[in-house]
Chain A
Amino acid sequence: MKIGLFLCDCGTNIAGVLDIKAIMEHFKTYPEIYVFEDKYLCAELGLNLIADEIKENKIDRVVIAACSFKLHGELFRNSIEKTGINRYLIAFANIREQNSWVHANEPMRATEKAIDQIDMAIERVKLLKPLKRRKAKITPSVLIIGGGIAGIKASLQIADAGYKVYLVEREPTIGGKMALFDKTFPTLDCSICILGPIMVEVKDHPNIELLTYSEVKEVSGYIGNFEITIEKKPRFIFEDKCVGCFEICREVCPIDVEDTFFPRKAIDVSYPQAIPLIPNILEEYCIGCKACEIACGEREAINFSQTKEIKRFKVGAIIVATGYKTFDPTILGEYNYTKYPNIITGLEMERLLNTDGPTKGVILKPSDGSIPKSISFILCVGSRNKKINHEYCSQVCCNYSVKQAILAKKQIKNLDIMIYYTDIRAIGKFCEEFYNRAREEFQIRFIKSNISTIIKSDTSNELLLRGENILDDHLFENPTELVVLAVGIEPAEGTEELAQILNISTDTYGFLLESHLKVRPSDSSVKGIYIAGAIQFPKDIPNSISQAESTASKTIALLTKGEIELDPLVVQYNRDLCDLCRLCENVCVFNAIEIENEQLHIIEANCVGCGACAAMCHKNALTVPGFTKEEIITQLKVITDKKKESPLIVTFLCNWCSYIGADLAGTSKIQYPTNTRPIHVMCTAMIDPALVFEALFNGADGVLIAGCHPQDCHYTTGFIKAENRYESIISMLEELKINNNRVKIISISAGEGQKFADTIKEFSETLKNLGPISKDLKNIK
């Protein structure tokens, strides 16, 4: 066996912290190892070096010590495959995200950690076995969740390419937020005039099946083969009989749904351009007078006995484009949003400006319906605010406020407009020019001040804005008649639930987490599920559309392949070792294990490779390739034999959440102690308690098991199984008189880099106080 160790400097990213020379010298003393180093292994030159050296030195196994395998793992696998080595005979040492980037101030210790990490990879690669990839057909259809501008554009592009699209929208109409706007910045063209025709195109497209008023309830399967369950809410209308002459039924309905900004009848359409142009009856408001049924007459389109429908279908890929909701300013009590009707949000202002809105486009004060003489805009409401975990800039508020100010100025003569800002961020093409026009042409005044509170004047009906004019240290209480809070953007309602259904990750703010911020911005954490639009992060219309189109292209590229190669990470069964104890049978929730007539069968198609069964198997008859007990123990031995740190922590990281979370700590450069040695597992459920004791008995001072939050688990109940096993680990520790604080289980999502760093810090402290493990092990004798 000849192993090639390829070390990457990554410019100064790795070499700037780690002593690469020392590492090379160390490994050159190993007889079976060939060591190579390059400035950038992932670049063309680096990859060529790998290929050349493999051929020249007849290398048959490869260790890559570089960035996280989550970033370039596939690239390196493809490269060695080209030289004739099986793509699974490779192991990775993550010495960037989980080393040099997080230990920048401790180069010596970091170098020692890197040597351990590489040693672990070397020992692991020795045990790996060649595997064959599985092939699966791709269902040539796509599910798109969310019928806003991003979902609409993606649907049309994919449908045009000839693939079937299921477009699911929660509201009764597609169009999303864009359909509610009056004009768009910076061009001031009418929003619905651009959007309306595209919405009609969606309705008429033969390849698009529109599922409005529907929600995704269940998703199972994998890339190329997802099984979808949709629940369609009852409209109480026969969609095939209704012709959309909605005035007739609406006219006779006696129930006004009172809403200042979204008024409607109990039977109504959302707005006249709605697609599909079919009204719905709001169950909670309808009094059942059936006047609409009589008005509808012979068409008989109204159906009071309609119930929800369930629809199931298969798709090859999923695009999530669920968009955003606006920030609810009631949480900031000092703005008195609910107390005074003349304080409105940006979206409500948009309704006042819209010709199809409640006031037919006339700006009126909600308190008395009169025309305001002055309007004040407050920017950054709910944005750039650490206190409420909204540290991000919402990207669009400056621009939409400038737009609304201009539109208001155009409408009302001698209107006095003030915009209170902290910083103006007129981002986007032609937006700075737009902002300049607001100042030059429309004489809108901009005051640099973050308003601290809005109160009511004692002497008049006006509102008073209290603030400090930053530029002259001057305190003011400025009167105004109408206040517009430029509220920021949050992930759409129900994003958390949807992320759980899809098993994809969210970031610290609840937006969907992309696979890589720069090079894979539209991939979610699960293959075959993509993201588009403002559900990834606040975006304006042009940016949402750009991402929708790129996501659509990615999806088309996937579907066009027709077939996909999958990692053969399914459990392997050795009949000779099995004693048919049947412990594995119940632990599998995917029906992948079947025991009939004293014979155990693995149903490969059902197996997801979580390894929960393998952890239960006391005979080692069940194994997940790459993650066998032998392969994990060999890594543990490397760590504990040398024991370079005290306290020494062995950290198991699950593939789907915690490993990515630990990587995120790296990309965010959050520093934590060097005394942790990460071991990658597919799921925390595959960790046999014996492995934890193996670590402790051999000298690890503590073991950290980090997995998904239970509700996010990629294997549904994997983390819960790990938690159950943790209980038994704890009781065994107690029996052995080993302090039970030495083993810790924790949920760290892919978005929780900070939490990972904090956990390591805290756990180190705990273990420091407990002293070395040898103290506890004495008790055993």
Chain B
Amino acid sequence: MEDLKSDRILEIKDDISDELRKAGYAEIGACIQCGNCTASCPSGRRTAMRTRSIVREALLGLDEVLSDKELWLCTTCYTCFERCPRNIPITDIIIFLRNLAVQRGHILPNHLNLCRMFYDTGHGVPINDEKWNIMRESYGVSRVPPTVHAHPKAVKEVQELISCVGFDKTIAWGKYAKKEEKAEKK
């Protein structure tokens, strides 16, 4: 007979629910796991997202809540919050968990690309195709819009701001990105 091991919940040290409490989301403790959030979730009906499981894992401090891709499938429609009988701001909690996830190095490649784009150009969605410039011209506006694009020096300012708030470190700029790229190539 296989030996019984103690519940791994007992072994968890990293307490995500503590972080949530500190951030002012103590209400999460009142969750009774009724499942109304999952059943209300328009994303969950089409994807693997299970809102209740996210809340449960966060409460128990299970690390996979941060690493699972599910966390990023929420459309922030707030229906779960609206119907939650315990009045738990679930959507806000999911956004908080996303921040926590990124801080701990869990970021999806696409999001990372977006961040890099932002760091490099000052835009999450930059004008990186000549056809847009041509189209702008055809409408009679300047080829380059009067944003960071028109002021290359301002990019430096953006980058400075990003490093001021520590966002470059948060996403482990460079080293982390390369690792991700390698992983992707594989």
Contacts and interface: CB of A to CB of B under 8 A. Distances in A.
A450 B87 contact: no
A506 interface: no
B31 to A, nearest CB: 11
Interface stretch (A462-470, A530-538, A607-615, A772-780): A462-470
Interface residues on A, range: 20 to 34
Contact of A387 (B33, B52, B87): B87
B39 A386 contact: no
A466 B42 CA distance: 11
Chain A at the B interface: SS class: mixed
A453 B40 contact: yes
A515 interface: no
Interface in B80-96: 82-87
Interface in A328-358: 334
B38 interface: yes
B53 A450 contact: no
A450 B50 contact: no
B36 interface: yes
Contact of B53 (A451, A466, A473): A473
Interface in A456-499: 466-470, 473, 475
A552 B50 CA distance: 53
Contact of A451 (B33, B39, B82): B39
B45 A450 contact: no
B34 interface: yes
Contact of A450 (B30, B39, B44, B82): B39
Nearest to B84: A387
A475 B42 CA distance: 11
Nearest to A451: B39
B52 A470 contact: yes
B84 A468 contact: no
B35 interface: yes
B32 interface: yes
Interface in B22-69: 30, 32-36, 38-40, 44-45, 50, 52-53
B39 A422 contact: no
A475 B32 contact: no
Contacts of B40: 334, 452-453
Contacts of B33: 470
Nearest to A334: B83
Contacts of B45: 475
A633 to B, nearest CB: 43
B92 to A, nearest CB: 15
A380 B39 contact: no
A475 B44 contact: yes
B87 A475 contact: no
A385 interface: yes
Interface string A374-393: 00000010001111000000
Nearest to A465: B39
A500 interface: no
A453 B39 CA distance: 8
Nearest first, the 8 A-B pairs at minimum CB distance are A450-B34, A452-B39, A468-B35, A468-B38, A386-B87, A385-B85, A452-B40, A450-B36
Interface of B: 30, 32-36, 38-40, 44-45, 50, 52-53, 82-87
5 contacts: A386-B30, A387-B84, A450-B34, A450-B35, A468-B36
